[in-house]
Structure 1
């Protein structure tokens, strides 16, 4: 048993609790818990290229309004995470069913910058046009 310095086979650094909370809350469809993963003045760029949402209240309102469009919203499932200092990059897959009973599946990567254990800035990278086309039934 190696009790000395970390070896090349050490377990990867675990992301701060806010990151698993973000994904768990998405899977539970819980806008309150999802938004609470962010700092009070946190920023969400979802996806990059759209106007950012600033502040936990704005993020909450966006999430709550988005969740209402799905029956059910199955959430974002992380597939891989890499933590470096106060940054956590997570690849994920999303799944939902629209209120018109159409499945929607997408995937992406979110890069989270953390401060005091909460998400200060989240930058989501995914194909928003493909996501919107699925919503429209194309």
Structure 2
């Protein structure tokens, strides 16, 4: 698998989060894709839970701006260091960061994500 295919699907994943576009976001995933976001929580079958995920973002945030800081590609996987800046609907600014591991299938779709970040830090910023 080419690095360009992986870079393209990772970029689309983040741009659709920024747009809070559920259909565009889920289109990046294989039909049987699973997401561990964050790692330590029960996995989500993306095609079953995608509206809930994007719906949570839409309920809380007026704006989200992800930045891919580094992407490291090996074989069909990518480790992505990212930062997310957001503004809540109540006007609070948040900034949080993490690393997500993407496994991409031969069709160029995301098969799994494993996201390492701390939602508690983001929630604390929203409540402060």
**TM bin (shorter chain):** 0.7 to 0.9
Normalising by the residue count of structure 1, what TM-score does the alignment of the two structures yield?
A: 0.81
RMSD over aligned Cα, in angstroms? 1.7
Which has the higher Rg, Structure 1 or Structure 2? 1
1:127 aligns with 2:93: no
Partner of residue 47, structure 1: 38
Q: Is the 8 A contact 1:14 1:83 kept in 2?
A: no
User: Which ranges of structure 1 fall in alignment gaps of 5 or more residues?
Assistant: 1-11
Deviation at 1:63, TM superposition (A): 1.6
User: Which ranges of structure 2 fall in alignment gaps of 5 or more residues?
Assistant: none
Normalising by the residue count of structure 2, what TM-score does the alignment of the two structures yield?
A: 0.87
1:70 aligns with 2:53: no
Deviates more, 1:61-70 or 1:88-97: 61-70
Aligned length: 125
* 1:100-138 Cα distance to aligned partner (Å, 9 max, x none): 11111101110001112111110111122111211222x
Q: In proportion to residue count, which structure has more helix?
A: 2
Deviation at 1:75, TM superposition (A): 3.1
